[in-house]
Structure 1
Amino acid sequence: MKLARFSKDGITCLGKIENGRIIDLTAAMPACGHSMRALLTVFPHQRAILENVTAPSYALSDVVLEAPIADPQKFLAIGMNYKAHAEEAAAAGVPVPTSQLWFNKQVSCITGPYGHVQIPRAAPYKVDYEAEMGVVIGQRCRHVKREEALGVIAGYFVANDVTARDWQFRSPTFTLGKSFDTHGPIGPWITTADEIPDPHALELTLSLNGEPRQKTSTGDMIYDIYEQIAYLSQVMTLEPGDLLITGTPANVGIQTGTFMKPGDVVRVEVSRLGHIENCFEPEV
């Protein structure tokens, strides 16, 4: 199932994607409002209702797809988790971590799959792209064993870990450089875990103004998704709707001195999960 948030005529609703259309789930799940986090909390028990719901549907061209989760409690990202990216970082003199390297993206950075991304007034020169696959947690969990991690995953999405490189490296943690408003485009929807038999066998690509820049298999991860969940859940309770983004492949912009300019369009695609596409514009 592909679960989404969408707006039509100024009203935001929950929906599911089928055959190129979006089916409005609002009437079937009125208690959830337009919160995907609320829907995920009850999803395991209400799935049959959602699969068989009869409701109005709309062409995707007639609605605005919003960030599938706008209000997660956590938005966490792992750094240098693809082999080729770690190698290019090492070649540039950046130490490769010997364990999982996690940082926060503040949830206020989240934006929709096709909205504009800002080139900030405070960081106009070194805004970079990072194509990533995202994971949505589906149930409250702690101390998850690697072999049990699949059972706590609600689904997957596409992300761009937009980064202001100068702000990233001016402090010991990455948080500020990763958290400018709009620097967390995600979407276009959540593809539920049952539709993806192996999340480590997907193609992840990024293009800049139509020119290919990043391409890899998600199988190139150093720490796979299940190891990531096991590691994080030793530290903190993971909640339904929490977002994890799982690393970017080689050829980020900083490696070639390519940073975002007004009008640049970045498209990130993951096979079987869809794509997001965002135009970069100056902050006003």
Structure 2
Amino acid sequence: MRLALFNKGRLGLVDGEDLVDVTDLLAPSTTTPSGALHQYIELVDRGGAQQFDLSGRARVPLAQAVLDAPLPRPGKIVGAPVNYLDHKAEMQYSTSIADLGVFLKANSSVIGPGQDIVLPYSDKRTDQEGELGVVIGRTASRVRAEDALDYVFGYTCVLDITVRSGEDRSTRKSFDTFTPVGPWVVTADEIPDPDALELRCDVAGETRQRANTADLIFGVRQLIAYTSSVMALHPGDVIATGTPAGVGPLAHGDRVVVDIEQVGRLEVGVDGSQAIPYEQRPGR
């Protein structure tokens, strides 16, 4: 299944060129910032999975729907630094994820399809990093790599936006709007091998990144096993699996597109109209 949030928080199942509204099939609950899909993932974890009967349900053409981030406020976003050898080479890093471990991004940095990345600084390079996102479906603590995919709910497209400045990774990657996610979440049964997916990222109509997740240093299984050895993963958490070579600066007016085989196509804009000189940042 492909599950999306649309039109201010409705939960939709993608069926051909339509979104079928299945919001009322969730267990009754109040609206929360985490969103209806997050609630559904938790419902499934509690054993409440159900088949969707689409007959007679309201449909909205995808072309007319306003898609939101499928997980507007995940419990946590885990990043995988330097997880492709070609990215390690282009950035001239001497270390990789095997040395660095993982990092956390603020969940307030999430935006959805069609929204804008807001550049904070006019004189510091801000790069795009296209990545496969893994959505956790069950609480995972110290799981074995061979069992890791049993803990996955699904997959999505992620952009890990990064300022090239001197602060810690979590700061440079946690500005508001710095984690576009979407356009939906594809359930794990649709993707038998997440370590064999073609990924492409275009900026301003030109392809900057093209890779296969087979080239990950820590593949999806190993990444879940490693991360869960450090911190418990909970339903709705997102792991951004790392970016390949081809990162580069964003400019006002750019369109950024991440396209991942079997997952989907995420497109966002870039707004530099509010950028300030780095030396004028608060705290200087």
Normalising by structure 1, we get a TM-score of 0.89
- Report the Cα distance in structure 1 between the residues aligned to 2:57 and 2:48, rounded to whole angstroms: 16
- 1:86-97 superposed matches below 5 A: 86-89=88-91, 92=92, 94-97=93-96
SS of the equivalent of 1:262 reads coil
Q: Deviations over 1:11-61 (max 9, x none)?
A: 421111111111111222252544321110112534333365652110012
Map 1:1-284 onto structure 2 (within 5 A).
1-7=1-7, 11-29=8-26, 31-32=28-29, 33=31, 34-43=35-44, 45-50=47-52, 54-89=56-91, 92=92, 94-97=93-96, 98-99=98-99, 101-120=101-120, 122=121, 124-166=123-165, 170-171=166-167, 173-253=168-248, 259-282=249-272, 284=274
**Secondary structure of 2:52's match?**
helix
Structure 1, residues 83-109: CA drift from partner, whole Å, max 9, x if none? 2112223xx3x2223435311110010
* CA–CA distance in structure 1, aligned partners of residues 53 and 104 of structure 2: 34
- Match of 1:96, as an amino acid? T
- Go from structure 1 to structure 2 and tell me whether the alpha carbon gap of 1:100 and 1:2 turns closer, same or farther (over 3 Å shift): farther
1:117-166, Cα deviation, whole Å (9 max, x unpaired):
1111x465311100100000001121111111010000000011111112
Instruction: Report the alpha carbon displacement of residue 198 of structure 1 after superposing the two structures with TM.
Output: 0.9
Distance 1:100 1:245 in 2: 15
Secondary structure of the structure 1 residue equivalent to 2:183: strand
Structure 2: gaps spanning 5 or more residues: 275-284
One-letter code aligned to 1:102 = V
Partners of 1:113 and 1:226 in 2: CA distance:
27
Q: Does the CA contact (< 8 Å) of 1:205 and 1:216 recur in 2?
A: yes
Once the two structures are overlaid, the 10-residue window that deviates more, 185-194 or 12-21, is: 12-21
Residue 278 (structure 1) shift: 1.1
Give, in whole Å, the separation in 2 of the partners of 1:84 and 1:278: 25
Distance 1:158 1:51, change over 3 A: farther
Matching residue's letter, 2:217: I
Could you tell me whether the CA contact under 8 Å between 2:202 and 2:256 is conserved in 1? yes
Distance 1:226 1:123, change over 3 A: farther
Conserved? CA contact 2:132–2:242, under 8 Å = yes
- SS of residue paired to 2:42: helix
Alpha carbons of 1:123 and 1:38: their partners in 2 closer, same or farther (altered >3 Å)? farther
In structure 2, what is the Cα distance between the partners aligned to 1:123 and 1:29? 44
Contact between 1:123 and 1:164, CA under 8 Å: does it hold in 2?
A: no
Residue-pair matches, total: 268
SS, match of residue 89 in structure 2? helix
Shift of 1:272: 0.9
Q: For structure 1, which segment, 52-61 or 79-88, has the greater mean C-alpha deviation from structure 2 after superposition?
A: 52-61
Alpha-carbon contact 1:35-1:70 (below 8 Å) kept: no
For 1:134, give the aligned amino acid: G
1:273/1:76 CA distance change after superposition, 3 Å: same
Aligned to 1:226, what secondary structure does the other structure show?
Answer: helix
| Counterpart-to-counterpart distance in 1, 2:269 and 2:123 | 15
Q: Please, what TM-score do these two structures have when normalized by structure 2?
A: 0.89
Unaligned runs of 5+ in 1: 254-258
Distance 1:240 1:28 in 2: 19
